[in-house]
Structure 1
Amino acid sequence: MRLCTSRSTLVAFALVIASVNLGGCASSTAGNVYSRDEARQAQVVKYATIESIQPVKIEGTRSYIGAATGAVLGGLAGSTVGVGTGQKAATVAGAVAGGLAGNAAEQALTKADGLEITVRLENGSVMAIVQEQSEQQFRVGQRVRVVQLNGTYRVSP
């Protein structure tokens, strides 16, 4: 009986750790969010006028973290079922199912609504930049800044 309680506690603890890990995977691609590495870096600024704005969906990430976390949790949950050979089979089945579920959960948690913003730069060239939707409001005809750093572009009012 004590063994089941310990496993249940372990599974609950692992679920908490997994939710923290998956939440930490979600990083924003909004125009007003910068990574720590981008801070204090010189950026090229160009001015432009918005020609069109289209809503888009930004896919969720597919890293090993969701699948690995799910596999560990599924294996732990499966190990609490049955005894002997049945327990081993349940552990393996739980790990496989958990890995698939963890991968799907990571993708769902990290997908986002975005905008494809087409701008005409002052030199006449046209660019389309996709970024995550944020509280920033954009409208066609608006003058904006196009900021570039290491191949990453963002549009800001």
Structure 2
Amino acid sequence: MNITKLIMVLICSAVLAGCASSNSGAVYKRGEARQVQTVKMGTVESVRTVKLEGTKSPVGTVGGAAVGGIAGSTIGGGRGSAIATVIGAIVGGIAGSAVEEGVTRSDGLEITIKLDSGGMIAVVQEADVQFKPGDRVRLLESGGTTRVTL
């Protein structure tokens, strides 16, 4: 039964890794290709480090529940095994959800920009590019999404 548990943990880990999405200014969804974007120019006024919460999909909960249920089923026998399976599934589901959120959490930046047009805006995105006050930046806007690039 230990090999079954190991296989389930590996499968759940692979699925969770596949759930990670990106809020990077350099990552586009497939459907965003060849779409017109509005370009604005501005100057970075300030940059603040923030945390981007992780995803909370059913995958982490279901995967954790499956692993917990399998682990619980190895405890006891008869009715005790059934109770341990249910408890294992519940605890595993809670733990799987927490693990997914923690694994997919990332560092972000809140970038405040003084637009050339005179307005002031702030954009939050992943911290994969470092910005500093005084940097000249481009803002790419399309369909409610804004990206800041150097």
When normalised by structure 2's length, the TM-score is 0.95
1:152 aligned onto 2:112: no
Letter of the 1:94 counterpart? G
1:80 aligned onto 2:70: no
Q: What secondary structure sits across from 1:77 in the alignment?
A: helix
Q: What secondary structure sits across from 1:118 in the alignment?
A: strand
Distance in 1, matches of 2:76 and 2:36, equals 60
Q: What secondary structure sits across from 1:81 in the alignment?
A: coil
Query: 1:137 offset after TM fit, Å?
Result: 2.6
Aligned ranges for residues 59-98 of structure 1 at < 5 Å? 59-98=53-92
Q: What secondary structure sits across from 1:50 in the alignment?
A: strand
Distance in 2, matches of 1:97 and 1:83, equals 19
Distance in 1, matches of 2:120 and 2:113, equals 6
Deviant stretches of 4+, over 4 Å: none
Query: 1:9 offset after TM fit, Å?
Result: 2.6
1:41 aligned onto 2:30: no
1:137 aligned onto 2:114: no
Within the candidate set 10, 14, 17, 1:16 is matched to 10
Q: Tell me the residue number matched to 1:4.
A: none
Which segment is superposed worse, 97-106 or 40-49?
Answer: 40-49
Distance in 2, matches of 1:37 and 1:8, equals 43
1:112 aligned onto 2:106: yes
Distance in 2, matches of 1:47 and 1:34, equals 20
Query: Alpha carbon RMSD of aligned pairs, Å?
Result: 1.1
When normalised by structure 1's length, the TM-score is 0.91
Q: What secondary structure sits across from 2:36 in the alignment?
A: coil
Which string of whole-angstrom CA distances, capped at 9 and with x for unpartnered residues, describes residues 110-155 of structure 1? 1111100001112111110000100x23111111000112101110
Q: Once the two structures are aligned, what percentage of the paired residues are identical?
A: 49
Aligned residues: 150
Distance in 1, matches of 2:76 and 2:31, equals 49
Letter of the 1:108 counterpart? G
Q: Tell me the residue number matched to 1:124.
A: 118
Segments of structure 1 that go 5 or more residues without pairing to the other structure are 1-6
